[in-house]
Structures are given as structure tokens and as C-alpha cells.
């Protein structure tokens, strides 16, 4: 039995007409630019939420802003604001404290987070319970954390001084001393954000290929050798991502400093974000505060650029 296919001229004409419609006119233009059209709403939203405020911030940084009769008055004062910045030793002190805070807190958080991630990855029972317990510090609101640690640091009835007294150490005013205020805040930050590093690195370790780890075990490598030569190189991208994210977050620290020390005593724990807040909202120097914000953004960008260059050099030499 043979099946004879008869070509219908009407069908050919219909297919050719639909083909012209799909590849020409408005439909064809949409098809050719679909990728751009798909991301266009996100781009517009990004421009509205980032570029426009940044332009406004730069404009404020070039002015002296005051309010007269309920109206905003701007006077060009870029050179005056820059002169204030060059003579502002408090901002320089806040910048130094911020870098100390970022480097010390992030370094300890990376080390503790990595150690905890390696330890928990070897646990076979109740891993979910341990992971949940480790994440509890992140879930606590910053206001509660500040109040809780302020009570713990209290020189009269705080639990930390009670433990020090138990071993024969006299009570210490850890938040009220120039020598220990910044260190005390760093301890709180390490306690608060180490679980964040732990979560990222634990996910990276648990995602490693089992075949590679089994091959390392068959070769007779010790656990320290396996960590150094197998695990760390394979989770290096996760380490870098965790370090960059945590560094940026540490640069923006505000709530812990504000609740625990308010930058004191003196300027011993003053950081950039808190100082900008004081200049902008307490001293009402809006133009100068905007200039401080612009300079801080430039410093953070420079820090990230140097870090990226160092990372590339390490990869090139590895």
C-alpha cells in the first residue's frame, strides 16, 4: 500500500506568509531583541535605585546645603568641603579604625568559619541540628545583640567580668577603655558573623566531588594534607566570595558600634559609617557628609580593586 503525499499550494502560501510575519515587522524585531527587552526592566530599576542617588550624592558633595523658610538652599562649596576633609583628623581616625575592624574581624571569621565548616562536614549524625544551632547568631536582630553584649560587658554585673573574677582578674570596663573598646566590638562582630562564613564554606565543602576525596584517601594522605592540597584549592572561589562579601559588610558596620560604644571613649572605636551619620544627622552638615560618603565609596572600591589584583597574582603564581 502506497501513501501519496499531495502538496497543496494553499498550504505553501500560508507557511510562507506566516514565515514573513515571524521574521519581519514588529514580531521579528521583538524576536531579534528579546534578550535586551527581557533585562530592560531590571536595568531601569538598577539605574533608578543606584545611578540616580549616586548622581544626587555627588551633587550634594559639591555644595553647602541649608534650609531657609522650609526651602533647601544649595551654595557651591566643593573647595570648602575638601578643605574640611583635609583638616578632619576624626575622619582619618575613623578610617583607620574601620580598616582595623575589617581586617581583624574578617580574618578571624574566615579562620573560625573554615574550621567549623571542616569539623561539621565530618559529622555523620545530627548535622542538621548542628547547622541550625550555628546559624542562630545571624537570626538575632542587631538591637538585641547590642543590648545583650552590653549587659555581658557590664563591669558591675556582666557575666564576662564574673568569669574574670572567678580566675582572679579584677573587673574591667571593656567598653569604656580606650585600649579595649574596639577589640570588644570586634569580638561581638566575630560572634555574630562567623556563622555566615561557616554556611558558605560548608556548602562548598559538601559540594566537592566524592571521587576526588576518595582518591586522596586511597593515596594515603593525612587529613591535614587533604585539607591543604585538595579541599582548600577546590573551595578557593567560595573562600574569595565569602571574604569579599564579609569585607564589604564589615566596612558598613554601624549598629554594633552605635549600640555598644557610640564611637567612644573619645574616638577609639569611631568608624566611618558612624562618623558620617553624626556629621549628616547630628551636626546637620549635609554637603560635607555627602562628600565623606563619596570618599568612603571610593576607598571601598579601591580596596576591592587591590584585592582583585592580589587575587589574580596569587592565581598566576600558584
Per-residue model confidence as pLDDT tens digits over 184-213: 999 999 999 999 999 999 999 999 988 988
Give the rounded percent of residues in the chain with a pLDDT score beyond 70.
Answer: 92
Of 12-16, 25-29, 91-95, 114-118, which range is least confident? 12-16
**pLDDT the model gives residue 122:** 85
Of 85-89, 124-128, 182-186, 241-245, which range is least confident? 124-128
Of 121-135, 218-232, 273-287, which range is least confident? 121-135
- Pick from 97, 86, 85: which is nearest to 287 by CA? 85
What would the pLDDT profile of 270-313 be if each residue is shown by its tens digit?
Answer: 999 999 999 999 999 999 999 999 999 999 999 888 888 887 88
Is residue 317 pLDDT above 80, yes or no? Answer: no
**pLDDT the model gives residue 24:** 55
Is residue 22 pLDDT above 50, yes or no? Answer: no
What would the pLDDT profile of 42-97 be if each residue is shown by its tens digit?
Answer: 889 988 888 888 999 999 999 998 888 888 889 999 999 999 999 999 999 999 99
What would the pLDDT profile of 163-173 be if each residue is shown by its tens digit?
Answer: 988 888 888 89
**Where are the alpha helices (H) located in the chain, listed in sequence order?**
9-23, 25-32, 34-46, 52-61, 78-86, 89-121, 127-134, 136-139, 142-152, 159-166, 181-206, 210-218, 223-226, 232-234, 236-251, 255-260, 272-277, 286-317
Helix H or strand E segment including 71: strand 71-76
Give the chain's mean pLDDT: 87
Q: In this predicted model, which residue has the larger pLDDT, 10 or 176?
A: 176
Q: How many other C-beta atoms can be found within 10 angstroms of the C-beta atom of residue 290?
A: 23
pTM for the whole structure: 0.84
**pLDDT the model gives residue 318:** 62
**pLDDT the model gives residue 52:** 86
**pLDDT the model gives residue 28:** 77
Q: HSE-up of 243 (CA within 13 Å, CB side)? A: 18
**pLDDT the model gives residue 3:** 46
Is residue 253 pLDDT above 70, yes or no? Answer: yes
222: left (phi over 0), alpha (psi -120 to 50) or beta: beta
Tell me if 96 sits within 8 A of 89, measured CB to CB. Answer: no
DSSP 280: I
Amino acid at each position: 500500500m502506497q501513501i501519496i503525499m499531495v502538496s497543496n499550494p494553499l498550504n505553501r502560501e500560508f507557511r510562507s506568509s506566516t514565515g514573513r510575519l515571524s521574521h519581519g515587522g514588529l514580531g521579528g524585531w521583538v524576536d531579534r531583541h528579546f534578550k535586551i527587552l527581557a533585562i530592560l526592566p531590571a536595568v531601569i530599576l538598577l539605574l533608578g535605585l543606584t545611578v540616580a542617588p549616586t548622581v544626587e550624592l555627588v551633587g550634594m558633595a559639591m555644595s553647602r546645603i541649608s534650609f531657609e523658610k522650609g526651602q533647601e538652599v544649595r551654595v557651591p562649596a566643593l573647595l570648602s568641603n575638601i578643605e574640611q576633609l583635609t583638616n578632619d583628623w576624626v575622619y582619618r581616625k575613623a578610617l583607620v579604625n574601620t580598616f582595623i575592624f575589617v581586617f581583624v574581624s574578617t580574618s578571624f571569621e574566615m579562620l573560625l568559619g573554615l574550621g567549623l565548616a571542616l569539623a561539621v562536614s565530618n559529622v555523620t549524625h545530627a548535622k542538621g541540628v548542628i547547622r541550625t544551632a550555628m546559624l542562630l547568631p545571624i537570626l538575632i536582630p542587631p538591637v538585641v545583640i547590642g543590648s545583650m553584649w552590653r549587659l555581658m560587658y557590664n563591669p558591675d554585673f556582666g557575666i564576662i567580668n564574673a568569669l574574670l573574677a572567678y580566675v582572679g582578674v579584677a573587673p574591667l570596663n571593656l567598653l569604656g577603655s580606650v585600649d579595649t573598646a574596639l577589640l570588644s566590638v570586634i569580638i561581638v562582630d566575630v560572634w555574630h558573623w562567623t556563622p555566615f562564613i561557616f554556611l558558605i564554606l560548608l556548602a562548598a565543602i559538601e559540594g566537592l566531588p566524592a571521587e576526588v576525596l576518595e582518591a586522596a584517601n586511597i593515596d594515603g594522605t593525612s587529613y591535614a594534607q587533604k585539607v591543604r592540597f585538595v579541599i582548600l584549592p577546590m573551595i578557593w572561589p567560595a573562600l574569595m566570595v565569602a571574604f569579599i562579601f564579609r569585607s564589604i559588610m564589615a566596612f558598613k558596620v554601624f549598629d554594633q558600634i552605635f549600640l555598644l560604644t557610640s564611637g567612644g571613649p573619645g574616638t577609639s572605636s569611631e568608624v566611618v559609617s558612624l562618623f558620617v551619620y553624626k556629621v549628616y544627622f547630628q551636626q546637620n552638615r549635609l554637603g560635607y557628609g555627602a562628600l565623606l560618603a563619596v570618599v568612603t565609596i571610593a576607598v571601598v572600591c579601591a580596596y576591592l580593586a587591590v584585592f582583585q589584583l592580589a587575587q589574580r597574582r596569587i592565581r598566576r603564581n600558584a
